Structure 1
Amino acid sequence: MATINQAAVKQDLYDAVNGEWLKTAVIPDDHSSTGGFMDLVDAIEKTLMHDFDAMAAGSVEPDNPQLAEFIKFYRLAKDFKQRDANGAEPLLPCLKQVDSLSDFADLQQRMPDWIYDGLPLPFSLDVDADMKNTKVNALFAQAPGTILPDKTYYDEGNQAGPKLLAIYAQMMTELLQKTGYDEAEAKQIVDDTLKFDRLIVPWVKSAEESADYSKMYNPRKFNDFVNTSRYLDLAAITYSVIDGNPEQVILPEPAFFDYFNEVVNPDNFGLMKNWMKAKLVQRYSGYLSDDMRVLATTYSRALSGQKEPRNQAKSAYYLATGTFDQVVGLYYGHKYFGEAAKADVHQMVEKMIGVYKRRLQANTWLSADTRAKAVTKLDKLGIQVGYPDKLEAIYTKFKTHTPEQGGNVLSNVLHFNRLARQDMFSKWGKATDRTRWEMSADTVNAYYHPFMNIIVFPAAILQAPFYSLEQSSSANYGGIGAVIAHEISHAFDNNGALFDEFGNLHNWWTDEDSAHFKELAKSMISEFDGLDFAGAKVNGTLTVSENIADAGGLSCAEEAAKGEDDVDLNAFFTNWAMIWRMKATTEYMQLLLSIDVHAPAKLRANVQPKNLDDFYTTFDIQPEDAMYLAPDKRVKIW
């Protein structure tokens, strides 16, 4: 544990803990940030690249058939000589299909195939748990994404928006030319793409609006959904991908479908067709030649402030592992985590749930009824630690076609996409799988799934500084303990609280308790809203659920730390600040402020301890100190 200047904590906990590191930390040119989580990502990348390169070279044998298929695909991704020789050729069959579209009847005919292939369309269909009956999979219809990362970027006074669109336009013009269009054609396609994008913008949600889960549930009777479009037979399209007759379709962005005919109509057909071409080229350029791969990163790098694209080796690694993510995760989990660690961390999670349960039972602002239901929800909470017990069956169908078999990177990806989407649509109307992992074991993260009422801790996050046998118990509680309790708290944040113990969108609160909780949530919004950061301001509403989870996580972890014989709250708060160390480009920080439901890392480190009374006694924080918050302003929820 780093030695810190105790006096400096009074002014800024984050700087006191991380200040020396910040002075010397350098953001790699192919990153937009470094530190904390990113350091673990980089270490895992190095480890797995070493392992997979040895397998690709033939010096180590993959130990299962799915890993062997992954290695075959990894070899393809690494073979830039072949990729450069292929150029844009692998994409041309798809592009020609879009190019040859004549009208909506033509689109109608091709749409089922394109939905399976996951090609860009003016709306998409997918299958997920029905939020009001999460035991069954329902059909969802989604609006398309916008070019800019959030609709607020299109606002009149937003200075970043026009600059980013200019970079996007230049990049797309060059990419389209590499696929065979002349400059005039490429510019026309881009102009039309920008126009069609603008037509979408008014009818989609901002990041802040999307952060409210309750507003995602907008079921439409199937007949009403079918009548959404005057120009496409949505019933025929739906029946072509699912086996059955849905009673309803859920629309997370209902406004887009209310105004569907104003966007998707014969007058805009040419714009839409060119928008589809541009989206197709942008989406798949990363699977083609190296010059197209590099060029296709221009816009995203401008967004995040990343100076350089990844080199060939790293880009091939991320392309391949992203395609076989659960196969890679299972390999990582078995080799670098193992059953003993899995059992140990599972025990830690159960211990934190026990602490949380005691806190709920001692809660003074909930009525007995709501408190009992909260405890029931906690009792039903599913725990997934380390890595899945089994690999999803879909991966047994992933067979890599080598160049000798007529395969290339893109043809394989399109084939895998199709298999995965066919598998997804086959699950419509069937039981959901609560054991399914939505994050691979080599991912440095954790999550709570409100529709399943489960918490998931992949192996990758279960290491120092979050967790280590070489750290004190208090340091571990300030790291992984707070992360575990953070995920538990999501079951009771402003979104999670709307779902019952089975993950159903169902009110289990008394009116009085609900009103009180909303007031407490408002106080958390106020605590963060408008805080200055990176030349912009924090949106307290966008970040409220994560801030409630941080507050609950830290207070619960602190109680657990205090239950140990070797309690050291100095180490507890120090490690809490250390796990949030991060150095990032200004562009990346401003992007996150616009779209990320998490508050900036520095503020996560600094604001939550101010809400805990023990923080003041641990570091002798006085009213004149910058880290002081008056007792009546301290936000305490869980």
Structure 2
Amino acid sequence: MTVNNHIAALVGGATSSDEGTADVKDDLYLGVNGDWLKTAKIPADKPTTGGFADLVENIEKTLMNDFGDMLDGKVEPNNVLLANFIAFYHQASDYAARDKDGFEPLKPLVKQVQDLTSFEDLQKQLVTFIKQGSGALIPIDVEPDMKDTKHRVVNVDAPSLILPDTTYYAEGNEAAPKLMAAFRGMMTKLFKATGFSDDEIKTTLDQAVALDAKFAQHEKSSEEKADYPKLYNPQDLSEFGKHSSVLDLKAYVDEALDNRVNRVIVADPKFYEAFDSLVTADNFDEVKSWYLVKVVRNWAGYLTNDARVIAGEYNRALTGTKEAPDKQKGAYRLAYSQFNMVVGDYYARKYFGTKAKNDVMDMVHRMIDVYKNRLANNDWLSKDTRDKAILKLNTLIPNVGFPDKIDPVFAQFVVKTEADGGSLFSNALNFAKIAAQANFDDIDKPVDRTMWNYMDPAMVNAYYDPSNNIIVFPAAILQAPFYSLKQTSSENFGGIGAVMAHEISHAFDNNGAQFDEYGNMHNWWTEADLKHFQGLTQAMIDEFNGLDFAGQKVNGKLVVSENVADQGGLSCALEAAKEDDSFSGKEFFTNWAKVWCMKASQEYEQMLLSIDVHAPHKLRANVQAQNLDDFYTAFDVKEGDGMWLAPDKRVHIW
């Protein structure tokens, strides 16, 4: 099960196009953000601007300035982890050295694949390839067991596809041919620079694309992956090994995990039921070509500047981004991606601090208390289910600003300097092996529920992890328009208050409601309560399903969990805000609409509609407000106004 399937993050979703202005009574989102949307320009090196994207850009500028002083020797890093980040950032910024090395660092990895002559050869390299980031035909990783979260298990997923989702492979998908042409064009340039002949390039790409298309016929769609419990399919390791007649899958897992497991959790059983018809004695050349594409694509960004720019062509076509980031931004983002928790820890401790952490933690506990009160007074849950829900809240662990400790794997990322024979490429390759081995070694370690595994403190986002029953609010999101001492209480509750309650609500969305107070997946609901809850979530699916956006339709099933969290979060934040004597409904809902303000390319909007579990920002702002009676009072919305929704159509869950 991949990380993105395992947590419930706050941000995502397609964004609003330039649609002009409107009265708040007719369109809350445009009434608040319309003037800005008319004039806002999307940066050439990004697919979005405004809202979250602006906060990200401001943090990036701040950190690049700070770290620029460290690169220049004006300021010394204050700990060894940060010193290693700066050393790696220096190597990423040294384009003269990168250009001088050319594609030579990549060629030994390519040769490993080229030297394969049979599945017997591939069997010997499967673990090597996954550890060094050369591709994973059978992706495996170690995570907490969804039904026994004190212990860890090996999860097995299906290989990643070239196109964003299985729906892109359906006949008639208009975006697919253009995207595949962009992918082939990018890979052709990269293979050419690696030393492949024109004939070799065509054959390799034809074979890899053909295998990818076969995989797509049997893999889960994004909608199917959004149903967490269906990702949990335990198999004895010996049973799992029977899925292939040309590869020994059991021996592969045994080698990677040093014979420490006897079962695996298969996220996509449909794929592995078909595996033996997809990877056969007759298509070894296709599999080999698939690996060649993987290794070149995965590592090209660590080579020359030209390779870095070329390696981003497909993603830019996918998101509608016009240009690659400049050299320094490219170097920073690459180094940050390797040392994200180290960078995030520096940012949070310098720009957020312990005092602010304590203040915001108090607000989180206030939101938890509001939720407890709502559950205690819920009129459709039975006492037994209600008591267990409150117990789950009592054991929920909130994390604010920055963690007390970061993953010890970062201490192993020791940069070898040029004087010691190190380079950007060699260090990154070594770090990939270290990270993979550390993940596999986690199989014997106890689960630490306080560890931040999915977001660093400099990320403008938040998440709930159902398997650990924790909520995380990174320092980066704890700023205006979400939270500021300069904003009114109503504005703060319409921003960060709704974010906090959103994440708490994930404990009781259609996925989170199936996990108990320890994060274990089992049904703790009475049959009648569960049936009623499923009816309410179906109403949420129906409310969003088929809504027009960016020339396409919203998939209500794909976005239901985030919409349930938005509904619960906004209504709980509203209740908390109303406890303040200075409460203003206009300020509350205006800031709710403001935090979702964003402008994006149509390509990006359409991609997210296909793969993202979040609804478009505009719809998150408008539809959830329409569900709350206080919105109509705040702006005197009447029947006939664009924002009017009949009372019997308003969806209320939490």
- Whether 2:75 is the aligned partner of 1:86: answer no
1:369 to 384, 398, 402: 384
**TM-score (norm: length of structure 2):** 0.96
- Whether 2:468 is the aligned partner of 1:452: answer yes
Partner of 1:110: 125
Instruction: State the shift of 1:244 in Å.
Output: 3.8
In structure 2, how many angstroms separate the alpha carbons of the residues matched to 1:114 and 1:540?
Answer: 38
Partner of 1:192: 207
**Contact 1:523–1:635 (CA under 8 A) maintained in structure 2:** yes
**Contact 2:370–2:576 (CA under 8 A) maintained in structure 1:** yes
SS at match of 1:448: strand
Instruction: State the shift of 1:114 in Å.
Output: 2.2
Deviates more, 1:275-284 or 1:429-438: 429-438
Per-residue CA deviations over 1:580-610 (Å, capped at 9, x if unaligned) read 0011001110011111100000110110011
- Whether 2:434 is the aligned partner of 1:403: answer no
In structure 1, how many angstroms separate the alpha carbons of the residues matched to 2:207 and 2:258?
Answer: 36
Partner of 2:9: none
SS at match of 1:549: helix
In structure 2, how many angstroms separate the alpha carbons of the residues matched to 1:519 and 1:22?
Answer: 37
In structure 2, how many angstroms separate the alpha carbons of the residues matched to 1:625 and 1:511?
Answer: 40
Instruction: State the shift of 1:119 in Å.
Output: 2.1
**Contact 2:158–2:271 (CA under 8 A) maintained in structure 1:** yes
Partner of 1:262: 277
Per-residue CA deviations over 1:219-265 (Å, capped at 9, x if unaligned) read 01111012222122223222222134423110001111111111112
Per-residue CA deviations over 1:142-189 (Å, capped at 9, x if unaligned) read 210110000000100111111111111111111100101011111111
Per-residue CA deviations over 1:14-39 (Å, capped at 9, x if unaligned) read 01100111111110000101010000
In structure 2, how many angstroms separate the alpha carbons of the residues matched to 1:141 and 1:338?
Answer: 39
**Contact 1:243–1:426 (CA under 8 A) maintained in structure 2:** no
Partner of 2:597: 581
- Whether 2:481 is the aligned partner of 1:465: answer yes
1:315 to 330, 344, 355: 330
In structure 1, how many angstroms separate the alpha carbons of the residues matched to 2:222 and 2:449?
Answer: 27
Amino acid at match of 1:611: N
Per-residue CA deviations over 1:20-60 (Å, capped at 9, x if unaligned) read 11111110000101010000000000000001111011110
**Contact 1:127–1:427 (CA under 8 A) maintained in structure 2:** yes
2:542 to 486, 506, 526: 526
**Contact 1:138–1:429 (CA under 8 A) maintained in structure 2:** no
Partner of 2:404: 389
1:226-625 superposed matches below 5 A = 226-438=241-453, 439-625=455-641
Q: Which has the higher contact order (CA 8 A, sep 6+)?
A: 2
1:630 to 640, 646, 651: 646
Instruction: State the shift of 1:531 in Å.
Output: 0.6
**Contact 1:122–1:264 (CA under 8 A) maintained in structure 2:** no
Deviates more, 1:114-123 or 1:245-254: 114-123
**Contact 1:6–1:619 (CA under 8 A) maintained in structure 2:** no
In structure 2, how many angstroms separate the alpha carbons of the residues matched to 1:465 and 1:471?
Answer: 8
In structure 2, how many angstroms separate the alpha carbons of the residues matched to 1:574 and 1:484?
Answer: 18
**Contact 2:28–2:593 (CA under 8 A) maintained in structure 1:** yes
In structure 1, how many angstroms separate the alpha carbons of the residues matched to 2:370 and 2:617?
Answer: 26
Partner of 1:151: 166
Partner of 2:185: 170
Per-residue CA deviations over 1:257-290 (Å, capped at 9, x if unaligned) read 1111111122111011011001111111111101
In structure 2, how many angstroms separate the alpha carbons of the residues matched to 1:235 and 1:205?
Answer: 23
Amino acid at match of 1:502: Y
- Whether 2:118 is the aligned partner of 1:98: answer no
In structure 1, how many angstroms separate the alpha carbons of the residues matched to 2:433 and 2:51?
Answer: 36
1:9 to 12, 16, 24: 24
**Contact 2:144–2:152 (CA under 8 A) maintained in structure 1:** yes
In structure 1, how many angstroms separate the alpha carbons of the residues matched to 2:217 and 2:28?
Answer: 42
1:203 to 196, 218, 230: 218
**Contact 2:627–2:645 (CA under 8 A) maintained in structure 1:** yes
In structure 2, how many angstroms separate the alpha carbons of the residues matched to 1:115 and 1:191?
Answer: 23
SS at match of 1:8: coil
Amino acid at match of 2:496: I
Instruction: State the shift of 1:7 in Å.
Output: 8.5
In structure 2, how many angstroms separate the alpha carbons of the residues matched to 1:507 and 1:437?
Answer: 26
1:30 to 24, 34, 45: 45
In structure 2, how many angstroms separate the alpha carbons of the residues matched to 1:131 and 1:147?
Answer: 29
SS at match of 2:443: coil
Amino acid at match of 2:173: N
Unaligned runs of 5+ in 2: 1-19
RMSD: 1.2
In structure 1, how many angstroms separate the alpha carbons of the residues matched to 2:211 and 2:21?
Answer: 56
Instruction: Say if 1:6 and 1:201 are closer, same or farther in 2 by CA, change over 3 A.
Output: closer
Amino acid at match of 1:449: D
Amino acid at match of 1:287: Y
- Whether 2:228 is the aligned partner of 1:213: answer yes
In structure 1, how many angstroms separate the alpha carbons of the residues matched to 2:509 and 2:264?
Answer: 27
Amino acid at match of 2:559: T
Deviates more, 1:100-109 or 1:114-123: 114-123
Instruction: Say if 1:358 and 1:6 are closer, same or farther in 2 by CA, change over 3 A.
Output: farther
**Contact 2:22–2:30 (CA under 8 A) maintained in structure 1:** no
Amino acid at match of 2:221: S
Aligned length: 634
In structure 2, how many angstroms separate the alpha carbons of the residues matched to 1:306 and 1:501?
Answer: 42
Unaligned runs of 5+ in 1: none
In structure 2, how many angstroms separate the alpha carbons of the residues matched to 1:485 and 1:591?
Answer: 28
1:46 to 57, 61, 76: 61
Partner of 2:147: 132
SS at match of 1:259: helix
Amino acid at match of 2:483: Y
In structure 2, how many angstroms separate the alpha carbons of the residues matched to 1:406 and 1:199?
Answer: 43
Instruction: Say if 1:125 and 1:441 are closer, same or farther in 2 by CA, change over 3 A.
Output: same
**Contact 1:90–1:408 (CA under 8 A) maintained in structure 2:** no
**TM-score (norm: length of structure 1):** 0.98
Segments of 4+ in structure 1 off by > 3 A?
none
Amino acid at match of 1:364: D
In structure 2, how many angstroms separate the alpha carbons of the residues matched to 1:86 and 1:238?
Answer: 35
1:54-65 superposed matches below 5 A = 54-65=69-80
**Contact 2:406–2:452 (CA under 8 A) maintained in structure 1:** no
Partner of 2:12: none
SS at match of 2:622: helix
Instruction: Say if 1:6 and 1:565 are closer, same or farther in 2 by CA, change over 3 A.
Output: farther
In structure 2, how many angstroms separate the alpha carbons of the residues matched to 1:119 and 1:393?
Answer: 24
Deviates more, 1:472-481 or 1:119-128: 119-128
* Amino-acid identity (%): 54
**Contact 2:150–2:447 (CA under 8 A) maintained in structure 1:** yes
In structure 2, how many angstroms separate the alpha carbons of the residues matched to 1:168 and 1:610?
Answer: 42
**Contact 2:537–2:560 (CA under 8 A) maintained in structure 1:** yes
SS at match of 1:266: coil
**Contact 2:133–2:298 (CA under 8 A) maintained in structure 1:** no
Amino acid at match of 1:184: D
In structure 1, how many angstroms separate the alpha carbons of the residues matched to 2:250 and 2:225?
Answer: 27
